[in-house]
């Protein structure tokens, strides 16, 4: 059990560029969540996957955002045409299959995005 990993840890990009983040959950964790956290706020739900299926997306996730989880393993979150308001910490969390979605979320360290 090596924990949830996220790459890159930091990303600085210019407004209008596209960025992609990756999350590798703990092996055999079938549920994966993406959150956004801004300064002074708690994590805000963006989307989640059960295996490879994306089951729900927050209204925070505009059409510039897309997430995938091919083969139900790692997941990617892409932001197209970034805006300064996208600057935030993007967190990934996973939950073991045995918990059936209700249980401890194992969080990664996050990817901090800065849009200049």
Which residues make up the interface to other proteins (CB under 8 A)? 3-4, 31, 33, 35, 40-45, 48, 50, 55-56, 91, 93, 100-110
Region of residue 72 (phi > 0: left; psi between -120 and 50: alpha; otherwise: beta): left
Nearer to other proteins, 93 or 115 (CB): 93
Q: Give the shortest CB-66-to-other proteins separation in angstroms.
A: 19
CB of 72 to other proteins, least distance (A): 14
Contacts of residue 1, defined as CB under 8 A and 6 or more positions apart, other chains included, come to 26, 27
CB of 108 to other proteins, least distance (A): 6
Closer residue to other proteins (CB): 68 or 107: 107
Phi/psi at 71 (5° precision): 65, 10
CA–CA gap between residue 23 and residue 8 (Å, rounded): 9
Of 82 and 92, CB closest to other proteins: 92
Please give the DSSP secondary-structure letter assigned to residue 25.
P
**Which residue's CB is nearer to other proteins, number 53 or number 63?**
53
* Residue 18 CB neighbours (<10 A): 11
């Amino acid at each position: 059990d090596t924990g949830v990993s996220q790459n890159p840890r930091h990303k600085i990009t210019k407004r209008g560029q596209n960025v992609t983040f990756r999350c590798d959950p703990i092996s055999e964790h079938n549920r994966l969540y993406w959150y956004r956290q801004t300064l002074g706020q708690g994590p805000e739900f963006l989307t989640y996957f059960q295996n490879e299926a994306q089951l729900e997306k927050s209204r925070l996730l505009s059409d510039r955002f897309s997430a995938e989880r091919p083969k139900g393993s790692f997941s990617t979150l892409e932001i197209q045409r970034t805006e300064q308001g996208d600057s935030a910490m993007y967190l990934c969390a996973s939950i073991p299959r045995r918990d059936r979605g209700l249980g401890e979320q194992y969080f990664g360290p996050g990817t901090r995005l800065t849009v200049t």
